[in-house]
Every structure is written in structure tokens, then in C-alpha cells.
């Protein structure tokens, strides 16, 4: 067992205190290298994760789009059926209306209303909603050669 040859003064001198606990010098090059390595290793993981996540998002949106198209088509057919001649006749009969036996013609100098045009798929398309801006890290993905 090694022993000190001389006693250490209580409290010690400032010099002694300064040299008593020695911290290793930080090698900033090493830190930088580790950081680059860590980022380099994490980036493909992030990229892969974001890609997969976006892929699933796209599939989900496509599926939803198909569902909505189906619903729209079904609703159009339903509306068309509701406004069919047979349905109008049934409603008219339920209201106690009958076809006019002798027409009464009244000439007016005001043009009649435009007939309703259906289905509504011919209406002008709604203005597109602006896209939400991407988060900063997602915007990094734009630099990658991913398929659109």
C-alpha cells in the first residue's frame, strides 16, 4: 500500500486544489465525429420511418377517397331516384293532385325559371384548401429522392 511521504495541509493550497481532481481534456474532434456518426445512423431510420408512415397515410387516404367516391355515386343515384318521374307522380297523388283535364294558358312577359340541372358533379369544383406547412424535419425529406 502506498503512502504519502508528507501530510496534506488541511484545506490545501489553491494550487493543490486546482491540480487535485483532473478532468480529461475534451476532444472536440471526437465529439463532432460521434455526432456525425449518430446523425448519419439515425437519418436512415428516420427516413425509413417517415417513408413507411407516409406510405400508409397515402394508402389510407386513397382508400378513403375511394369510399367517398362510392358514397357520392350512391347519393347521386339516390337523389336521381328521389326526383324520378315515378316518385314525383307518387308524391303528387299523395297530395291529391291530378293531371289537368283542360289546360289554362296564361301568357306572361317574364321568362320562366331555368330548369334545375342535376347531378351536381357539373358544378364548379370547390376552391382547394391550402396545405398545412410541413414540420421542419419532414421538409428535410424533400431533399431525398423519394417518389412523389
Partner 1 sequence: MAFEAAQRTGRVWLPAAGFGLFGLLVLGRLVQLQVLEHPQFAAKAASEMVASDTLYARRGAILDRNGHPLALTVDTWDVYVSARAWRDETVAVDASETLAAAIGGDAFAIRQQVRDHESGDILVARDVPFDVGRELEKQGVPGVSLLPNIDRAHPEGDLAASIIGFIGADNNGLAGIEAALDSVLGGTPGRAIFERDSAGRPIPLGRYVARQPVPGADVVLTVDRTLQELAERELRKAIEEHKASGGTLIIMDPNTGEILALASEPSFRYSTLDLSRDDQLQLLRNRAITDLYEPGSVMKVITAAAALDAGVVTPNTTYVDTGVAVVAGVPIRNWDYNVYGQQTMTGVLQHSINTGAIFMVERLGAERFHQYLDAFGFGRRTGIELQGETPGIFRRPSDPDWSPVDLATQSFGQAISVTPLQMAVAFAAAINGGKLLEPHVVKGYVLPDGTWRPVAPKVIDQAISPQTSNTLREMLGAVVNPGWYHPANPRFYTAGGKSGTANVPVVNGYNDRQIASFVGFAPLENPRILVMVKLDDNADLQTGTQAAGPVFARVVDEALRYLGVPPDKGPEADR
Contacts with partner 1, residue ranges (CB under 8 A): 51-52, 54-56, 58-59, 66-67, 69-71, 73-74, 76-77, 80-81, 83-86, 102-105, 107, 112, 115-119, 122, 146-148
Q: Which is nearer to partner 1, 17 or 81 (CB)?
A: 81
In the complex, minimum distance from the CB of residue 73 to partner 1, in angstroms, rounded to a whole number: 5
- Is-cis flag, bond preceding 119, omega within 30? yes
Question: Furthest-apart CA pair in the chain: how many Å?
Answer: 135
First to last CA, the chain: 72
Q: Which is nearer to partner 1, 102 or 129 (CB)?
A: 102
Cα angle 25-31-32, degrees, rounded to a multiple of 5: 135
Q: Which is nearer to partner 1, 5 or 115 (CB)?
A: 115
In the complex, minimum distance from the CB of residue 31 to partner 1, in angstroms, rounded to a whole number: 35
Q: Is 79 within 8 Å of 118 (Cβ atoms)?
A: yes
Q: Which is nearer to partner 1, 14 or 85 (CB)?
A: 85
In the complex, minimum distance from the CB of residue 92 to partner 1, in angstroms, rounded to a whole number: 13
Cα distance between residue 47 and residue 140, in whole Å = 9
Amino acid at each position: 500500500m502506498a503512502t504519502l511521504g508528507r501530510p496534506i495541509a488541511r484545506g490545501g493550497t489553491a494550487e493543490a486544489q486546482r491540480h487535485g481532481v483532473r478532468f480529461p481534456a475534451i476532444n472536440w474532434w471526437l465529439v463532432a465525429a460521434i455526432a456525425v456518426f449518430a446523425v448519419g445512423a439515425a437519418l436512415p431510420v428516420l427516413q425509413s420511418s417517415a417513408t413507411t408512415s407516409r406510405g400508409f397515410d397515402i394508402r389510407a387516404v386513397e382508400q378513403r377517397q375511394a369510399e367517398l367516391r362510392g358514397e357520392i355515386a350512391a347519393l347521386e343515384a339516390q337523389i336521381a331516384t328521389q326526383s324520378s318521374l315515378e316518385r314525383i307522380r307518387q308524391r303528387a297523388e299523395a297530395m291529391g293532385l291530378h293531371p289537368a283535364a283542360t289546360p289554362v294558358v296564361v301568357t306572361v312577359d317574364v321568362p320562366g325559371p331555368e330548369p334545375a340541372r342535376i347531378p351536381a358533379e357539373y358544378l364548379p369544383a370547390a376552391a382547394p384548401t391550402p396545405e398545412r406547412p410541413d414540420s421542419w424535419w419532414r421538409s428535410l425529406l424533400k431533399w431525398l429522392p423519394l417518389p412523389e
